[in-house]
Amino acid sequence: MSDPSVVPQGEPEATPAAPEVTPQDSQPAVADPQAGTGDQQHDPTVHDALQDAGIVRDPNEPQVIDTQNTRLDDGVNRCPRCGSTEIQLRPSTGMLVCLFCRHEWSEAQVESAISGDGNLSDLTGTIIASGATNIDPAVSGLITMKCSGCGSEVVVNTSKTMAMRCHWCRHVLTINEQVPNGAVPDAVLPFQITHEQAVQRIRDFAGKRMTFAHRRFVKEFTPENVVGVYLPYMVIDSNASADVWGKGEVLIRSYTRGSDENKQTYYDADVYQVQRHVDFTVDDLTIESSAERAHMNVLVNTNNIINTILPFDTKNAVQWNASYLIGFTSEKRDQDVSGVQPVLEDQLLSIARSRVEPSVTGYNRGVRWEHERLEVHGTRWVSMYLPVWLYSYYHEENGRGMVHYIAVNGRTGETMGSVPVSRGRLLAAALTAGTVIEGIVIAFLAVTA
Ligand SMILES: [Zn+2]
Ligand SMILES: [Zn+2]
């Protein structure tokens, strides 16, 4: 971008502007790392013929990878050592633990099963893991299971919980089958930060902000109320190309004219038409797949906050096992691939712009991009539950309600949040600062007078 500091006041354009030259970017100083690469257009007729012959897969037809955990069925999920159903996550190890015999184990990581050992730059078409396939609105969130302990029927509301205790025999029943209602993802990234550690992070975070915090918030602050929530995300691999066009400016010389009061500095610059092509891949881009998180007004804050505690080490996600959710809450995915696609394309374009930036540093007055084009060659979609500790606080002021959150990344401990501010306390602080500034100005006037 053009650096405003080199442009004199009232002199926004370089004078005299050199004619806009060079149809193709003719940048003198910097070698273009992308020059001559990447333009590998397929011959459409050859491609169609191959496709008709069944040799090339229709790229519009998504390919589905089955991620169903075949070891597990709906219902009783037993400890592999003693058969007990009292299983839950032990965050300090990130493993499942049997509360009866203390045996610890973990589901397999999904990364290799989904990505294989292929290179991302070879990724074509749309590949969707089975847990990320389209949600069928006709499928109810209520799932009835037959308890294999005692034979009773147990109903689980999957929009609220993924496990239920049979009230007759006390066995814990879990949902592991991938029902197309968005409730069962391909993978889960287990909590690794413990409740105790999360409470401490939230206490530290809020502690630094208590000076201006609303009095009621300070009084009611109980970080022990923090809850662990698995939030639904799409984790996406992409293979893409982008072209960007714009104008870059190189400073030729600067000089001054006039004298004394009327002295003015002029800058001469050459303006070039700049074009860049970049082929790039993106591994594990993480985008929320709950519309509520993305759009709901009151929670706009939350959405932003959750994004600031990214990234997660999604490579360590494991195959779905509902026992990872015992003791935690979760939110169901309600967005399909098509709903998340526009957000993905937006993010890919901004990644493309940042990738070409190092190759245009020779334009010392900056480059202004005017057109851009994105071509997505291939994407791979995995639905995933990511762990977040949340401390929420409902605050009402002048009849307007607002939910404030402090969120802790359940893997890295990264913490961000919003704390309701007392206008009175802020005003008091501003007035004090204002008084000081006023005092200085008065003193200054007194000296110059
Ligand atoms: Zn056991
Ligand atoms: Zn039972």
**What pLDDT is stored for residue 201 in this prediction?**
96
**What pLDDT is stored for residue 60 in this prediction?**
67
**What pLDDT is stored for residue 291 in this prediction?**
78
**What pLDDT is stored for residue 328 in this prediction?**
92
**What pLDDT is stored for residue 34 in this prediction?**
40
Backbone φ and ψ for 153, nearest 5 degrees, come out as: -95, 135
The CA 177 to ligand 2 mean position distance, Å, reads 19
The CA 106 to ligand 1 mean position distance, Å, reads 13
Task: Give one DSSP letter per residue of 22-72, joined into a string.
Answer: -SS---SSS--TTTT----PPPHHHHHHHHHTTSS--TTS-EEE----TT-
Tokens of 204: 């530290």
Return the beta strands (E) in 67-195 as ranges.
75-76, 87-90, 95-98, 104-105, 125-129, 142-146, 153-157, 163-165, 172-174, 187-188
The CA 350 to ligand 1 mean position distance, Å, reads 49
CA 234, chain centre distance (Å): 9
**What pLDDT is stored for residue 420 in this prediction?**
83
Residues with CB in 5 Å of ion ligand 1: 79, 81-82, 84, 98, 100-101, 103
This prediction's pTM: 0.76
**Across the 449 residues of the chain, what is the mean pLDDT of every consecutive 10-residue run?**
37 35 39 38 46 52 83 80 92 93 93 82 92 86 83 84 86 83 90 96 91 87 91 95 95 88 89 95 91 55 72 94 90 90 93 93 92 95 95 81 87 91 70 51 39
The CA 287 to ligand 1 mean position distance, Å, reads 36
**What pLDDT is stored for residue 324 in this prediction?**
93
Find where tokens 């006041």 sit.
9
Ligand nearest to the CA of 154: 2
Ligand nearest to the CA of 84: 1
The CA 187 to ligand 1 mean position distance, Å, reads 23
**What pLDDT is stored for residue 31 in this prediction?**
36
C-alpha to C-alpha distances, 34 to 41, 242, 340, nearest whole angstrom: 16, 11, 30
The CA 76 to ligand 2 mean position distance, Å, reads 9
**What pLDDT is stored for residue 440 in this prediction?**
42
Ligand nearest to the CA of 105: 1
Euclidean distance between CA atoms 270 and 425, whole angstroms? 53
**272 close to 25: Cβ distance less than 8 angstroms:** yes
Residue 283, H or E segment: strand 264-288
The CA 85 to ligand 1 mean position distance, Å, reads 8
**What pLDDT is stored for residue 11 in this prediction?**
34
**What pLDDT is stored for residue 8 in this prediction?**
35
What is the 8-class DSSP label of residue 297? G
**24 close to 272: Cβ distance less than 8 angstroms:** no
Euclidean distance between CA atoms 144 and 177, whole angstroms? 12
**What pLDDT is stored for residue 211 in this prediction?**
83
**What pLDDT is stored for residue 15 in this prediction?**
35
**What pLDDT is stored for residue 293 in this prediction?**
65
Euclidean distance between CA atoms 310 and 56, whole angstroms? 37
**What pLDDT is stored for residue 9 in this prediction?**
37
**What pLDDT is stored for residue 195 in this prediction?**
95
Alpha helices in 153-214 (DSSP H): 195-207
Euclidean distance between CA atoms 383 and 337, whole angstroms? 10
Ligand nearest to the CA of 83: 1
The CA 232 to ligand 2 mean position distance, Å, reads 30
Ligand nearest to the CA of 165: 2
Taken as a whole, the chain contains a residue count of 449
